[in-house]
Chains A and B, each alone.
Chain A
């Protein structure tokens, strides 16, 4: 596609629910990142994929967070048993390579009530 597509655009979850956030990167982009952005803050790194391999998950805040990219294209970020502190915008970015910069999606705004 022309850009990075994320769905849903908005998600309201009751505390304790599981959620799944989807990212469609630009076709052919090897690298895929997930970031979490709290209100009024800069984005913070969650995890990184190179093709289907998850090479860095050091930013995932707890074992309730899980990400996958099974075929090296679409990625899903899953949050189990959501908590209020999980409320944030979740941004996905993709890149051809390190020297090429990043293209971000519009994000998914998650609100846990």
Chain B
């Protein structure tokens, strides 16, 4: 059974710091991995999607890496800003029968960036 773990559960940093959020998964048979952002009381916003054949994706100050063989992904946030404060969720898509691609989520890392 695929399990996704995110460490740390919570993180507080001063503005301007570079930071790394970690995600690990137990079964390397994934179709892709996606990082989401969730603001309090809101839905999920997709940040980066990494296909299983890819090693990393970048968008602005965000960079996500994927090491499928070791079951790990990291989300790197450069020059953090107070507006980055949110919960960050990692999710892997399972191939499954019929390639349904359902997502298995970690519990998230809640980030607070202090001005």
Contact = CB atoms under 8 A, between A and B. Distances in A.
Interface residues of A, number: 29
A1 interface: no
Interface residues on B, range: 20 to 34
Main secondary structure of the interface of A (DSSP, over half): strand
20 contacts: A42-B105, A43-B44, A43-B91, A43-B105, A44-B105, A45-B102, A48-B102, A55-B100, A56-B100, A93-B44, A93-B103, A98-B99, A99-B31, A99-B51, A102-B46, A103-B46, A104-B43, A104-B44, A105-B43, A109-B41
Interface of A: 4, 6, 31, 33, 35, 40-45, 48, 50, 55-56, 59, 91, 93, 95, 98-99, 101-107, 109
Interface of B: 4, 31-32, 34, 36, 41-46, 49, 51, 89, 91, 93, 96, 98-108
